[in-house]
Chain A
Amino acid sequence: MSFRRKLLTVRPVVWLASIKITLVCLLLLFFLTLGGTIAQVSDGLYVAQQLYFESFFFLLFGFLPFPGAQLVMWVLFVNLVCVALVRFTFQWRQAGIMIIHSGLLLFLVSGYVTMHSTTESQVTLAEGQASNVSLAYHDWEIALWEDIPQKEASTRERNIVSLDPLTMTNGRSYPVNEFQMGLTLKKYYKNCQITKRSGAVMEFEQLELSPEAEKNSPCAVLSYEAQGQKTADIYLHGDLDVARTIDLGEKKINVLLRLKRYPLPFIIKLKDFKKEEHPGTTTPRSFESLVEVIENGAGREKLIQMNEPLRFNEFTLYQASFTEGSRGRETSTFAVVKNSGRVLPYISTFVTFFGLMVHFGMAAVRTKRRKHV
């Protein structure tokens, strides 16, 4: 193929296809994996994952600049593509190697897709309770909605505006057009505690991030402006689940700092939860939840158990955990995963393993033949 021959003259492409680059990248990945494992002991999974695996660069031991796994995998991706362009001979002899490396390319692609298109959240229901939203594990939002009087609550739809505090710059005013107002984030701590409180006014003290990401409770100080007038500050804390109300004259707006809500394309209702223990122990043998999935008014029942999740389009709901409240009322927690690229790792696995079998199978046959000569 003349295109390939042309490629072979492009020096950078040939250089990028070097096996030495592969070797260095694999070594880096090896040590990153080791470091990222040990770091979890002190920093927790979330932080270790962000630092070692999801970043492009980070400071190892706090001062040494080191490439993160994302960068290494990008380099590997480019390296693999160049290898495919330049080194694949498309001869039977090399069949195994080509299949293996195509599979690995697919793995890198699925890793990228998964990282950017997966949302993990959870929903906890008590027996008899239903919900159409799931909660994030440790992503927070500032939610605003109009305060509707009790008697109209069931007939009017609630329009909820959600702002991500991590994307907001302190001091800048963000317009909330739905309610004709602007919101300014004055202060935001990812983990903090209330040191003083008098009514709605609070003082916050920033805390160190907990290695267990779910244990962090943030706080925010906001100010709002409506119809040109700037008014008092609003103090919000993640642990407080009663919303603050802003009086804008013709309407009242509720503001709350809470875990991010994600809409589900259905309503899920927990009908019954059952837990079995190994007799005479407290070790759980099995958990199962009988739920009803309601879509457009029509419901169907499904049993969600360990290893048997509920699948609905790109959503999957897993039995994650449970609590036993007082008076025997049990709550069941489901892990909700929205992942459109779910099938990619399966294909990559199959392809790569097939390639490994072909390659080592052929190598074994070749060695045997050589022995008989």
Chain B
Amino acid sequence: MFKKISALFMLGVLSLGWVLTSSANVMCPLDNLKPKQVRSLDALKSVAVLNQGRIKPFETFAKTFLLQLSGRDHYKKQSALEWMAKFLFAPRSTYNDKVFLVNHPEILEALKVKPVKNRKYSYNQLNAGYEKLEELARVISQIDDKKQSVVDKEILRVFSNVVLYSRLSGAFTFALAHPDFTLNSPETVKALGLPEGQTEFSYYDILNKSHVLAKLAHERSKLKDVAFSPLQKDTANLLSAMSFWEQHYAQCPFGLIPSLSVEDEQWMSPMDTILIGFQVPEYQEEIKHLRDAAVAYWNGEQLAFNAALRLYNESTVKRISAKERKAVSKIPMELFYNRFNGLFWAGMFYSLGLLVFLLSLFSEKPWMYRVMTVLTVIGFAAHLAALALRVIIMSRPPVSNLFETFVFVGAFCVFMGLILERINRSWIGLIVANVCGFIMLIIAGKFSNDGDTMQMLIAVLNSNFWLSTHVIAITIGYAGCCVAGIMGHIYVLQALSQPKNQKRLDNTYQNMLGVLGFGLMMSFLGTALGGVWADQSWGRFWGWDPKENGALMIVLWSAIVFHAKIAKVINPLGVAVGCILTLMVVMWAWFGVNLLSIGLHSYGFASGIAGSLILYVIAEIIFISVTVILLGRKGIKM
């Protein structure tokens, strides 16, 4: 028994020793382009990265990067995290991955690349036409923003993505063996104190021996006009390689390692850290851990990989500022938010609810109402949870960018729908909730495709009481008017299907009026609070800015509908049509004005969105015209 234990113990010590020493010596084989990879990247997920001004988990950074390049958060069967690990630790193995989304075939033709249907191209393909791409980008960047065409903007976008890809791919090259540091002369290897029997080394290996290299260089410089020995030739080569690498791989836009000077708030790539202070003990230790992680990834050593990253995290977290630590402490929550994927599930449940409703139109069964209610409530719970998580992670109200407004308005619409259902118990509330929730989340998805939806705010949007109240009030106003708009559709459809059911029509009509009134009230409040905020921040209550005008148009239009009803110029059907039109006005104010690329709220042109907006308007006009004509025949007039 004792023998067994001591044998196991010896084995443990030996393997530990082997692991420790081997990670110091084992290099990455050059001729093997494919890394062995580790099975689990959990250790990498939670590493903190500073990107676009925000400290985020590596997993989010990976998703953002891949989304930015390809519009998707995964590549084939790999998750963004898996692809990113491959990209950073074994960049060349991803050069043929078709991750670049290029939207216009003319751009590919200009680069002499054959356009493909799915519009995705690889780095190698685009890099082949790099010179042309750079030339085009340079010319276009001289043109004034507003005069650039959609294709121009796409070229700039693709170019900056290619440059980013190229620069980021060099982030971990310091850790990997490279021909520049291949030493074929054993004499050199011995002189530098590197492990004998090896010929392939990395920048890091040579860096560690830089004091020896400096001594050798000094000795070499004393020799003049003498045939240089292999050692001396290698010395010269190594020196020039090191110097080249220091220039070429510096300024890598990868905010991985926090700066030691706490007020600096800058986070640097490994190479930049090396250049700033490899002799600083903290930096040196962290670079070593990062390098160990890269090597472990190549060799498929899960334990070593996890250990290296854990040690790296411990070292960095120990020395960052309180503010940064607070952000880092939110990382587990953000990872949970990513995994929970609440908005996806909310959308799923809403669509299932709609499915049940459609089924009920064919044959109504008593369980359908209950099931639909449950589905709606579960969807809403997931939706609210996602919103709440966002608020906690970002420490600000959940309406800071266009994506978030859709998520928030969607949630409020579902909330209103549920209340309506509670009051009426007539399916209307549930229909409204599921339709609005589902559609809003789909639209939100369209606005999340250029990367991180949790962005930092520009200075003018610094949290401020009036700003927060304004944005919340106006989005609630949007929600109210959207719900009224959906109810307008419901009224029209109900009038078509059962024109004699006056009780049902009256009920829908009364609810619709109430909701429109609520929408008018909140839109008015939101618009006025926007004026108050503008007055507080820029000195003028109203400036006829497109966004202000859009909000004013919602208020004016809802007021018009009410006044037309009071003046008896329109009947309930007319009010319903007015509500449907209110929905269009809301869409215009919400993001139609942003597409104009002018004014204080311009977020830039996105051709896909403009096209969808126009299609929607055409569809609504057709719907209204057809239904009004049909209803006119049944005697129901506007």
Residues of A that sit less than 8 Å from B by CB: 19-20, 22-23, 26-27, 29-30, 33-34, 36-38, 40-41, 45, 48-49, 53, 110-111, 114, 118, 120, 277-281, 283-287, 306-307, 309, 316, 318, 320, 335-337, 339, 342, 345-346, 348-349, 352-353, 356-357, 359-360, 363-364, 367
Contacts and interface: CB of A to CB of B under 8 A. Distances in A.
Contacts of A279: 50, 53, 255, 265-267
A42 B552 CA distance: 21
A352 B524 contact: yes
B290 to A, nearest CB: 18
Interface in B494-518: 510, 514, 517-518
Nearest to B538: A318
19 contacts: A26-B563, A30-B553, A30-B556, A30-B560, A34-B553, A36-B544, A45-B544, A114-B542, A277-B53, A279-B53, A279-B267, A281-B52, A285-B456, A285-B462, A309-B539, A318-B539, A336-B539, A337-B539, A349-B532
B566 A19 contact: yes
B394 interface: no
Contact of A316 (B460, B510, B539, B549): B539
Contacts of A356: 520-521, 524-525
Contacts of B510: 367
Contacts of B536: 307, 309
A164 B544 CA distance: 26
B478 to A, nearest CB: 17
Contact of A26 (B50, B531, B549, B556): B556
A307 B540 CA distance: 12
A363 B253 CA distance: 59
B549 A33 contact: yes
Contacts of B467: 307
Given A349-B531, A356-B524, A278 B563 contact: no
A28 to B, nearest CB: 10
Contacts of A29: 556
Nearest to B596: A41
A342 B467 CA distance: 18
Nearest to A28: B556
A283 B563 CA distance: 46
Given A23-B563, A37-B550, A48-B544, A286 B462 contact: yes
A59 to B, nearest CB: 19
A27 B460 CA distance: 34
A285 B539 CA distance: 20
Given A30-B557, A277-B53, A281-B456, 20 more contacts: A23-B564, A26-B556, A30-B556, A33-B549, A41-B597, A45-B543, A45-B545, A118-B540, A278-B53, A280-B255, A283-B53, A285-B53, A307-B460, A337-B539, A342-B535, A345-B528, A345-B531, A349-B525, A353-B528, A360-B517
A363 to B, nearest CB: 7
A120 B267 contact: no
A353 B567 contact: no
A204 to B, nearest CB: 25
Is the contact region of chain B dominated by helix, strand, or loop, or is it mixed? helix
Contacts of A280: 50-53, 253, 255, 266-267
B599 A40 contact: yes
A360 B539 contact: no
A264 B531 CA distance: 25
Closest 4 CB pairs of A and B: A278-B53, A337-B539, A349-B528, A279-B265
Contacts of B545: 45
Contact of A40 (B521, B531, B566, B598): B598
A364 B518 CA distance: 10
Contacts of B539: 120, 309, 316, 318, 335-337, 339
A20 B560 CA distance: 10
B537 interface: yes
Contacts of B524: 352-353, 356
Interface in B534-578: 535-546, 549-550, 552-553, 556-557, 559-560, 563-564, 566-567, 569
Contacts of B559: 26
Contacts of B521: 353, 356-357, 360
Contacts of A33: 549, 552-553, 556
Contact of A22 (B266, B464, B528, B563): B563
Contacts of A337: 539-540
Which of the listed residues A278, A281, A286, A346 has the most CB atoms from chain B within 10 Å of its own CB? A278
A360 to B, nearest CB: 5
B126 interface: no
Interface string B244-256: 0000000001010
Contacts of B546: 37, 40
Nearest to A18: B567
A349 B544 contact: no
A272 to B, nearest CB: 17
Interface in B356-406: none
A38 to B, nearest CB: 7
Which of the listed residues B255, B540, B569 has the most CB atoms from chain A within 10 Å of its own CB? B540
A20 B563 CA distance: 8
Given A279-B53, A307-B537, A353-B528, A363 B544 contact: no
Given A279-B50, A335-B539, A353-B521, A346 B532 contact: yes
A359 B517 CA distance: 9
Nearest to B543: A45
A360 B545 CA distance: 29
A131 B413 CA distance: 53
Contacts of A278: 52-54, 456
Contacts of B540: 118, 120, 337
A108 to B, nearest CB: 12
A364 B456 CA distance: 41
B139 interface: no
B276 to A, nearest CB: 15
B529 interface: yes
A281 B517 CA distance: 44
Contact of B567 (A23, A111, A114, A335): A23
Contacts of A23: 560, 563-564, 567, 569
